[in-house]
């Protein structure tokens, strides 16, 4: 089952319900479009306003930037080795821990979508497309090999709107 796009108010609801550590992980993912595993693999030594990341899934390198306030928040809680240390400081926080917390938060917020940390990538893609109107730029930012995959991400908001429209047009559907 694929993960779904979240509206801004839904993103805020989920973020508000996460533990502070996992909220910070998700904020980084929302800002950079990095997969949660790549966010968690960040080392404390590489934290800077701009730095290079090699994505674990694709092996591709890309440069990411973090605003000063977000970078400061990460540095405050970073360990000696990992930007997001786990219970054992020799290991980083696990993807499963973040995934579980996001699922718990989405359930607590009673969101109907299938929400996971990967939903942050879709939000990132939609916002980038809305900001620049350039699908090639979104494709480069996500390091996708195919524009058709990028379109699935970047058009997630339109797919969600169409889904709501279909529900409203059915007898007994949702009326806003």
Is the model's pLDDT at 175 over the cut of 70?
no
Three-class secondary structure assignment of the chain: CCCCCCCHHHHHHHHHHCCHHHHHHHHHHHHHCCCHHHHHCCEHHHCCCEEEEECCCCCCEEEEECCHHHHHHHHHHCCCCECCECCCCCCECCHHHHHHHHHHHHHHCCCCCCCCCCHHHHHHHHHHHHHHCCHHHHHHHHCCCCHHHHHHHHCHHHHHHHHHHHHHHCCCCCCC
| Residue 117 Rama label (left phi>0; alpha psi -120 to 50; beta) | alpha
Contact 109, 13 (CB under 8 A): yes
Q: Say if residue 10's pLDDT is above 80.
A: yes
Q: How far apart are CA 15 and CA 31, in angstroms?
A: 13
Bigger pLDDT: 57 or 165? Answer: 57
**What's the average model confidence in pLDDT over 47-75?**
96
Q: Is pLDDT at 102 greater than 50 in this prediction?
A: yes
- CA–CA dist 20, 47 (Å, integer): 19
Mean pLDDT of 22-31: 98
Bigger pLDDT: 51 vs 113: 51
pLDDT at residue number 2: 79
């Amino acid at each position: 089952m694929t993960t779904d796009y979240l509206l801004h108010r839904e993103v805020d609801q989920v973020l508000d319900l996460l533990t502070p550590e996992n909220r910070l992980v998700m904020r980084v993912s929302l800002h950079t479009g990095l997969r949660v595993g790549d966010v968690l693999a960040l080392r404390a030594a590489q934290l800077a306003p701009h730095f290079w990341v090699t994505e674990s899934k694709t092996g591709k390198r890309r440069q990411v930037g973090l605003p000063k306030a977000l970078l400061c928040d990460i540095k405050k809680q970073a360990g000696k080795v990992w930007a997001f240390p786990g219970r054992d400081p020799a290991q980083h926080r696990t993807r499963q821990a973040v995934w579980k917390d996001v699922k718990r938060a989405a359930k607590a917020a009673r969101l109907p979508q299938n929400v996971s940390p990967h939903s942050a990538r879709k939000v990132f893609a939609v916002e980038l497309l809305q900001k620049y109107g350039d699908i090639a730029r979104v494709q480069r930012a996500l390091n996708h090999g195919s524009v058709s995959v990028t379109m699935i991400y970047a058009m997630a908001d339109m797919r969600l709107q169409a889904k709501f429209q279909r529900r409203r047009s059915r007898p007994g559907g949702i009326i806003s």
